[in-house]
Structure 1
Amino acid sequence: MTRPPSGRLIPVGSGPAHDLVLIRTFRAHAEDVWASVTEPARTARWFGSWEGDAAPGRTIKIQMAYEEQQPWMEARIEACEPPMRLAVSTIDDQGTWRLEILLSEVDGITELKFVHHLDSAEGAGDIGPGWEYYLDMLVASREGRSLPDFDSYYPSMKPHFEAQV
């Protein structure tokens, strides 16, 4: 395992919905971190490049560069409030994924809060390690370090997320 998992599952209301929340901190201004999660050339370094007209209500195509066969997926931009909030939704075989990135900056230190809004906590043990991996990929790409290996995250981090259900 690269490092201990940090993600938390937070119940939403009294039903089965949960938010999967992961936080990373950067010694950088929010605008610079924002560029790392929104500019195609920079997202390509840790997640995948994208194409399309990026605006609220529009759909872009993202190539998942670090998945088998580098598949393309569509993401609808639900909200875009530079440099503080980006919300997207995707649809795949697993269903609809509602994702949000929230940035806050104090004295040149930016906190990135990643939220995956889950309809239920089912599958969090499989989903959580993936987001830990991708966010650590973001950190490594920004710091010029070698990218982590997914095998260091899954299945070793799975129990951390399952224990929170």
Structure 2
Amino acid sequence: MTKQATGRVVITDGGRDLILERYFDAGVDDVWASITESERTARLFGPWTGEPGVGSVVRVTMGFEEGAPVMPMTITACEPPRRLGVHSQDEYGEWNLEALVERDGDRTRLTFVHHLDAAANAAEVGPGWEYYLDALVAAENGRAAPDFDDYFPEMSAHYGGA
């Protein structure tokens, strides 16, 4: 089943931001725990090790990527339970990521922002983030993870012009 792309790319003073939102029936603290506690991030993209804190480097095992590579990520912002920022760099470019958690009526909204570097191809990274965020929603609701083939390359055209 092909999924519908939900993200958008916004031009900013610093370049471009890829922005995606997901909603949860859980509270802010629970959603925060889902993106910060290693046991719970393991369900989303992979567990991490290290000492958390702004300026610290944690090592994230990318459990759903080929070969389960370990990616060092520097924590650039941590304002529990509202804002988390991380930065990493690998052969594919820079990963400046931000997650914002807030109450929106009777639900909690997670806004995920990938501050794209000049070399980033939104048509390649957009479908991946859609998949990971839907995997988080599935984990939170006790459902099986989605199938990546429903995201890529189907969603690439949605992000292709950005």
TM superposition score normalised by structure 1: 0.94
CA distance in 1, matches of 2:85, 2:29: 16
Distance across 2 between alignment mates of 1:60 and 1:157: 30
Q: CA deviation at 1:108?
A: 4.3
Instruction: Give the one of 139, 143, 157 matched to 2:137.
Output: 139
Which runs of 5 or more residues in structure 1 are unaligned? Answer: none
Q: How far does residue 162 in structure 1 lie from its aligned partner after superposition?
A: 0.8
Which of 33, 36, 44 is residue 34 of structure 2 equivalent to? 36
Q: Which amino acid in 2 is paired with 1:85?
A: R
Q: 1:6 to 1:80 in 2, by over 3 A?
A: same
1:94 equivalent to 2:92? Answer: yes
How far does the alpha carbon of each residue in 1:95-122 deviate from its partner, in whole angstroms, 9 at most, with x for none?
A: 2210000011144411000000012375
2:113 to 115, 121, 128: 115
8 Å contact 1:2–1:148 — kept in the other structure? no
1:66-112 per-residue CA deviation (whole Å, 9 max, x = no partner) reads: 11111111000001000000000011002221000001114441100
Look up the match of 1:27: 25
CA contact (8 A) 1:102 1:113 kept: yes
Displacement of 1:130 in angstroms is 0.3
Do the aligned residues in 2 keep the contact of 1:18 with 1:121 (CA within 8 Å)? Answer: no
CA contact (8 A) 1:64 1:72 kept: yes
* Distance (Å, rounded) in 2 between the aligned partners of 1:157 and 1:107: 29
Q: Secondary structure at the match of 1:44?
A: helix
What is the letter of the counterpart of residue 60 of structure 2? I
- Are 1:124 and 2:122 an aligned pair? yes
Gapped regions of structure 2 (runs ≥ 5):
none
Moved over 4 A (4+): none
Indicate conservation of the 8 Å contact 1:28/1:108, yes or no: no
Q: Is structure 2 residue 7 aligned with structure 1 residue 7?
A: yes
For 2:150, the equivalent position in structure 1 comes to 152
Q: Which residue of structure 2 lines up, in the alignment, with residue 51 of structure 1? A: 49
> CA deviation digits over 1:34-56, x for unaligned, max 9?
00000000110121000000100
What secondary structure sits across from 2:52 in the alignment?
A: coil
Identity across matched positions, percent: 49
CA RMSD of aligned residues (A): 1.3
Partner of 2:58: 60
Count of residues paired in the alignment: 162
**Matched AA of 1:94:** Y
